[in-house]
């Protein structure tokens, strides 16, 4: 009941916002709109027509608009930014946190980037230029330069005064990083420790010298694992001489985890950019066709193999009935092993357990499931076709058992091999491993059937 009340109240606010826009009432619009959380503001804003959005740009300040844009998906931001007056957009970039500004810049055209940087505040533009040099998906590309840093020789009183001055522009103040006179990272001190320490104590006596940090070139996925394992709210990023370059905050890591999960799922499904809703049907087809063409040729190999056993099928036509069953079971088992192994690699469980131990465990799993499924299909064939077809049931059962064992090994071995070769294990996609296992299962099934043909007839 309370939820319905909130929903009705929210709808009433939206109605007032639309009415204020229609009547061109700036004061009423700001009064209702700015009372909402920026996330709700972003949802309302994205559902408006372009003409109405252009109207809102005249109602809101760059700072207020920046808060809304921080809650947009990146694919939405490019359209919104380019429809604005360039000077207004540049002022928004000035107000955005540096890492968010860099993320947006990375999806814009080069001439657009140059235009906005020219119109921006010189200091803000300089910081963004420095971050744009880092490769995408690295620590340098997702870090922010808006953080609080103190010198190790400061007193606690001096550090607190400095924190008070810098806090309004910092992304987080819960960790205060400590540097020496050469600007090298030497420690970290929490806000709690600053508050409870005596004012005349020296920072170096209170700080923790065991600082976990990342290098600017580290992959963002490894950074996400590091922050997850240590439960950090922020992580410092340094250069090769341990000079502090920036920090990565937990909100950026949540975006990274979402991006990496979406990317891995896309690869497992053999598609790219599956989280983009702005692709046309033609563009979406272009993204999917390369994998489908590869799988088409692999499927032709399967068809050719079945053709090689035409005589076997002609003599015992019932063999053809079990082709989809055996191929399907092998494909499903391989995909299960693939998904478990890729997830284990992503979470680091495979590294802690050991690749060989994981492979042996999956092999044993394949053996157990293979034996149970094999025996089950033998009993089903006997119940369906009678005891006279016992040997057919045995051939089908043994084929399923062997196929499931091989498929499980393949599904776990391929991603482990790719990881060892520094290739993204998710590339061993579900459709790819399924088709490979189809080929293997057909060879096993018809190989056995041909070998024992005299018993089947």
Residue by residue, DSSP assigns 337-392 as HHHHHHHHHHHTHHHHH-HHHHHHHHHHHHHHHHHHHHHHHHHHHHHHH-GGGHHH
306 and 407 inside one domain: yes
Q: Calculate mean pLDDT across residues 301-313.
A: 76
Looking from the CA of 172 toward its CB, the CA atoms found within 13 Å total: 21
Residues paired with residue 138 on neighbouring β-strands, in sequence order = 219
pLDDT greater than 60 at residue 270: no
Per-residue model confidence as pLDDT tens digits over 311-352: 777 777 777 888 888 888 888 888 888 878 877 776 677 776
Q: What is the DSSP string of 85-117?
A: -HHHHHHHHHHS-HHHHHHHHTTS-HHHHHHHH
Burial of 1 (0-12, 13-18, 19+ CB in 10 A): exposed
Same domain, 68 and 168: no
Check: CB of residue 149 under 8 Å from CB of residue 208.
no
Residue 345 is assigned to a structural domain of this protein = yes
Does residue 220 carry a pLDDT above 90?
Answer: no
Asked if residue 435 and residue 340 are part of one domain, the reply reads: yes
Predicted pLDDT at 194: 92
Please, which residues have CB within 8 angstroms of residue 248's CB and are 6 or more apart in sequence?
139, 142, 143, 144, 214, 223, 227, 234, 235, 237
Q: Summarize the confidence of residues 200-223 as an average pLDDT.
A: 90
* 10 or 111: which leads in pLDDT: 111
Residues 248 and 157: their CA atoms lie apart, in Å, by 27
Report the alpha-carbon distance of residue 318 to residue 297 in Å, rounded: 27
Provide DSSP, 403-453. Answer: HHHHHHHHHHHHHHHHHHTTS-GGGS-HHHHHHHHHHHHHHHHHHHHHHTH
Tokens of 426: 């998710």
Confidence of residue 5 (pLDDT cuts 50, 70, 90): very low
Condensed to tens digits (0 to 9), the pLDDT of residues 360-386 reads 888 899 899 989 998 998 898 888 878
Question: Which among 3, 63, 11 is positioned nearest to 40, based on CA atoms?
Answer: 11
Q: Is the pLDDT of residue 401 over 70?
A: yes
Tell me what pLDDT residue 321 has: 81
**pLDDT class for 206, splitting at 50, 70, 90?**
very high
Q: What are phi and psi of 341, to 5 degrees?
A: -70, -45
Domain boundary among 133, 158, 188: 133
Q: Which tokens sit at 7?
A: 């929903």
State the average pLDDT over residues 15-26. 89
Buried b or exposed e, range 216-231, using 16+ CB within 10 angstroms: bebebbebbbbbeeee
Same domain, 311 and 248: no
Give the end of a domain, one of 133, 167, 185: 133
Between 207 and 411, residue with greater pLDDT: 207
410 and 292 housed in the same domain: yes
Q: What is the pLDDT at residue 68?
A: 92
Residue 425 pLDDT > 80: no
Both 286 and 422 in one domain: the answer is yes
Give the distance from CA 392 to its chain's centroid.
Answer: 47
Type and span of the H or E element at 285 = helix 281-308
Model confidence band, residue 62 (pLDDT cutoffs 50, 70, 90)? very high
pLDDT at 3 (0 to 100): 45
- Within a domain: residue 56? yes
Q: Give a yes or no: residue 274 inside a domain.
A: no
> Does residue 7 belong to any structural domain of this protein?
no
Mean pLDDT of 237-257: 87
Domain end residue (candidates: 223, 241, 267):
267
The verdict on 120 and 90 lying in the same domain is yes
Tokens standing for residue 360: 């042996």
Lowest mean pLDDT among 261-275, 287-301, 327-341, 345-359: 261-275
Residue 9 falls inside a structural domain: no
> Residue 292 falls within a domain, yes or no?
yes
Looking at the structure, do residues 231 and 180 belong to the same domain, yes or no? yes
Name the pLDDT band for 196 (thresholds 50, 70, 90).
very high
More confident residue, 109 or 296: 109
Residue 301 belongs to a domain:
yes
Whether residue 329 lies inside any domain: the answer is yes
- Is pLDDT of 154 > 90? yes
| Residue-number span of the structural domain to which 369 is assigned | 281-456
Domain count along the chain: 3
d(CA 406, CA 439): 11
pLDDT digits (tens, 9 = 90+) for 440-450: 888 888 888 88
Q: Tell me the angle at which helices 74-83 and 50-57 cross, rounded to the nearest 10 degrees.
A: 70
Residues 316 and 416 in one domain: yes
Instruction: Tell me: pLDDT of 307 over 50.
Output: yes
The pLDDT mean for the chain works out to: 83
CATH code of residue 329: 1.10.357.20
Is residue 263 within a helix (H) or strand (E), and if so which, with residue range?
helix 250-268
Are residues 194 and 53 part of one domain? no
């Amino acid at each position: 009941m309370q939820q319905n009340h909130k929903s009705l109240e929210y709808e009433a606010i939206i109605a007032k916002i639309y009415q204020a826009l229609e009547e061109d009432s700036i004061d009423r619009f700001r009064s209702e709109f700015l009372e909402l959380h920026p996330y709700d503001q972003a949802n309302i804003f994205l559902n408006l027509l372009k003409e109405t959005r252009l109207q809102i740009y005249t109602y809101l300040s760059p700072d207020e608009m920046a808060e809304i844009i921080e809650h947009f998906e990146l694919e939405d931001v490019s359209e919104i930014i380019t429809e604005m007056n360039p000077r207004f957009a540049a002022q928004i970039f000035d107000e955005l946190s540096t890492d968010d500004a860099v993320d947006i810049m990375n999806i814009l055209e080069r001439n657009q980037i140059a235009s906005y940087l020219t119109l921006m505040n010189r200091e803000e533009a300089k910081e963004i230029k420095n971050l744009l040099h880092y490769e995408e998906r690295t620590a340098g590309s997702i870090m922010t330069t808006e953080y609080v840093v103190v010198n190790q020789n400061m007193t606690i009183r001096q550090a607190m005064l400095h924190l008070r001055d810098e806090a309004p522009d910092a992304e987080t103040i819960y960790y205060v990083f400590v540097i020496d006179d050469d600007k090298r990272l030497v420690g970290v001190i929490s806000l709690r420790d600053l508050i409870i320490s005596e004012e005349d104590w020296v920072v170096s006596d209170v700080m923790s010298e065991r600082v976990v940090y990342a290098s600017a070139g580290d992959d963002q996925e490894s950074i996400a694992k590091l922050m997850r394992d240590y439960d950090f709210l922020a992580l410092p990023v340094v250069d090769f001489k341990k000079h502090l370059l920036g920090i990565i905050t937990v909100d950026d890591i949540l975006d990274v985890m979402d991006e990496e999960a979406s990317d891995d799922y896309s690869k497992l499904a053999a598609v790219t950019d599956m989280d983009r809703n702005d692709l046309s049907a033609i563009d979406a087809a272009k993204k999917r066709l390369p994998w489908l063409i590869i799988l088409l040729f692999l499927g032709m190999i399967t068809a050719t193999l079945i053709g090689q056993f035409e005589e076997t099928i002609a003599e015992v036509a019932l063999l053809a009935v079990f082709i989809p069953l055996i191929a399907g079971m092998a494909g499903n088992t391989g995909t299960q092993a693939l998904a478990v192994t890729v997830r284990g690699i992503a979470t680091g469980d495979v590294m802690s357990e050991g690749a060989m131990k994981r492979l042996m465990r999956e092999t044993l799993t394949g053996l157990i499931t293979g034996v149970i499924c094999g025996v089950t299909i033998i009993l089903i064939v006997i119940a369906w076709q009678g005891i006279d077809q016992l040997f057919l049931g045995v051939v089908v059962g043994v084929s399923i058992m062997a196929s499931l064992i091989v498929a499980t090994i393949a599904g776990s071995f391929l991603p482990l091999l790719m990881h060892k070769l520094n290739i993204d294990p998710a590339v061993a996609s579900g459709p790819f491993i399924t088709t490979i296992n189809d080929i293997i299962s057909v060879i096993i099934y018809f190989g056995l059937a041909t070998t024992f043909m005299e018993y089947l007839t």
